[in-house]
Amino acid sequence: MRFAINYSTPFHGADPDRMTAFARHAEDCGFEALYVPEHIVLYPGAKVGPVEFPPSLPYPDPLDCLAFVAAGTRRILLGVGVLLLPYHHPVILAKRLATIDALSKGRMRLLTVGLGTLPGEAEAVGVDFGSRGRRADEAIDVLRLLWGGGEDGVSHQGEFFAFDHLTSFPKPHGVTRLPVHVGGSSRAAARRAGRRGDGFFPGGALDAEERALQWELARLSAAEAGRDPEALEYTRWGSIGMTADDAEALAAQGVTRVVVNPMSPELQGQRDEMSAFAERFGLLPG
């Protein structure tokens, strides 16, 4: 079981000193990775289910945040949970992700992509809300095509994207493709994770039965696509107050990574929570 920490920019803001101090302490504690969230724009009335977003919530660009954090850390992996993939052009995104990975010497390795649930956000960037699933599928294919392409270039003719003989350098650090995990709380997300993803990171308030069903669906979808279900990583949210028994219960469900959120509003309180968690689970580097 691996453990990662989430830095919630809408609640903690984008203060550079605080973000760096948080990331460095997480690294010192032995957390595998730091995650940040994304929303591109908000607007009055934007909501997910019954939860309405205050329009003034700060959502700085997650990739810019991770590049900044990478410069102030040495080891911790970089993650987004989740990047709204349909709202990013994959040709530009491939370059941005590869650049961060190259500059961080191979740490941009926990990208999680999702579709987004706010119709106004899709409209703001000129994306048809109803086709964003197909657009995301094609974008994943384009990302991998560009990362793996050589000096002769690669070509693609799809529903949403088309190009001939493109080259995209620099490449990711030491690999021909970066992992792309799939997030979401729907069965469609589980199928996408199995067919195209390197892992599944479900969210939402799902009951135990639905969570188990979605994980099995992801594995079945991988097998049907000729992929190895055992290679899929399974990431879940967890409590920073979780116990060893809680972790064992998640491991029994196939979970390979847990991402926790500190509860304290203050940096020192967050540091204390991270330190206590790391000691409880033996994460502190030897």
Q: How far apart are the first and last CA of the chain?
A: 18
Q: Which among 51, 13, 5, 2 is positioned nearest to 265, based on CA atoms?
A: 13
What pLDDT shows up at residue 204?
Answer: 79
pTM of the model: 0.97
**Contact status, residue 168 vs residue 149, Cβ threshold 8 Å:** yes
Is the dihedral angle over the CA atoms 246, 81, 110, 28 positive or is it negative? negative
State the Cα–Cα distance between residues 128 and 65, nearest whole angstrom.
Answer: 28
What pLDDT shows up at residue 52?
Answer: 95
| Residues contacting residue 264 through CB under 8 Å, at least 6 positions apart | 270, 272, 273
What pLDDT shows up at residue 217?
Answer: 98
- Tokens 């899709």 locate to 122
Q: Is residue 286 scored above 60 in pLDDT?
A: no
Reported as a single tens digit per residue, the pLDDT across 9-30 is 999 999 999 999 999 999 999 9
**Contact status, residue 132 vs residue 86, Cβ threshold 8 Å:** yes
Average pLDDT, the chain: 97
Task: State the angle between helix axes of 62-71 and 90-103 in degrees (0 to 180), rounded to the nearest 10.
Answer: 10
* Structure-block tokens of residue 229: 């279900």
